[in-house]
Amino acid sequence: MTTTTKTDAQIYVACLASYNSGVLHGEWITPKADKEELQEQINKVLKSSKIPNAEEWAIHDYDSFPNLGEYPGLDNIIKVQEAIDEHGQYVVSAFLENWSIEDLDHIDDAYYGEYDSFSEFAQQLAEDTIEGLNGNSTLASYFDYEKWERDLSYDYHEGEGENGSSLIFNANW
């Protein structure tokens, strides 16, 4: 089993008044997980605009942060940032490939861990849960790991972790 490292997830906050005037103005920020602090970060970007009275903003790019679209709302940005702070961006991104932001409260229920491959996960799960299936036992010589792995693929989702590892989620949390 491998370990995921955490990186700084960032969003590019763009000033729409500048954008609509043909000027690109924005800033990469690591979103704060507090609504007031995040709003202050966005306000700082807007205040630094050369266009007077800039009020509207959009997210024009993401770096190590799941793509939530141009207008994700502060609450969604915060919810994702909190999950990234706790689980890392690879786990959160892989989770959101199969579920929605509203489901992030269940990430602990769904996440099984990081493995070198789905096959490694399947073998480890078999050895941990099927009594007598270890070493050179008689049962081990008859056990079909390929079919076991295929059947598990219906109940578990696999996401890509750092360096191509497999992040495993139980689809039936």
pLDDT of residue 132: 79
Total number of domains constituting the chain: 2
Query: Cα(72)–Cα(115) distance, rounded to whole angstroms?
Result: 31
The answer to whether 115 and 164 have CB atoms below 8 angstroms apart is: no
Phi-psi region of 4 (alpha: psi -120 to 50; beta: other; left: phi over 0): beta
Query: Are both 147 and 111 inside the same structural domain?
Result: yes
Domain match, 77 and 145 both: no
pTM over 0.75: yes
Domain presence at residue 39: yes
Q: Are residues 99 and 171 in the same domain?
A: yes
Same domain, 160 and 97: yes
Give me the pLDDT at residue 7, please: 53
Lowest mean pLDDT among 40-44, 137-141, 154-158: 137-141
136 lies in the same domain as 121 = yes
Domain that holds residue 33: 8-86
**β-pairing, 166-170 with 111-115?**
antiparallel
Both 82 and 92 in one domain: the answer is: no
Bridge partners, 160 (sequence order): 166
| Contact predicate 54/15, CB 8 Å | yes
Which uninterrupted H or E stretch holds 28?
strand 26-29
Question: Which two three-digit tokens encode residue 130?
Answer: 């099927």
Q: Is the pLDDT of residue 3 over 90?
A: no
Nearest CA-CA partner of 129 in 96, 155, 92, 166: 155
Is residue 122 in a domain? Answer: yes
Tell me: do 82 and 151 sit in the same domain: no
Over residues 113-136, the pLDDT tens digits come to 999 999 999 999 998 888 877 767
pLDDT tens figures, 59-82: 999 999 999 999 999 999 999 999
Which residue, of 48, 67, 86, is where some domain finishes?
Answer: 86
Mean pLDDT for the chain overall: 91
Give the distance between the most distant pair of CA atoms in the chain: 78
Length of the chain: 173
Same domain, 98 and 81: no
pLDDT in tens, 155-173: 999 999 988 999 999 999 8
Give the separation between CA 135 and CA 97, rounded to whole angstroms.
36
DSSP label at residue 83: H
For residues 81 and 96, membership in a common domain is answered with no
User: 104, 95 in Cβ contact below 8 A?
Assistant: yes
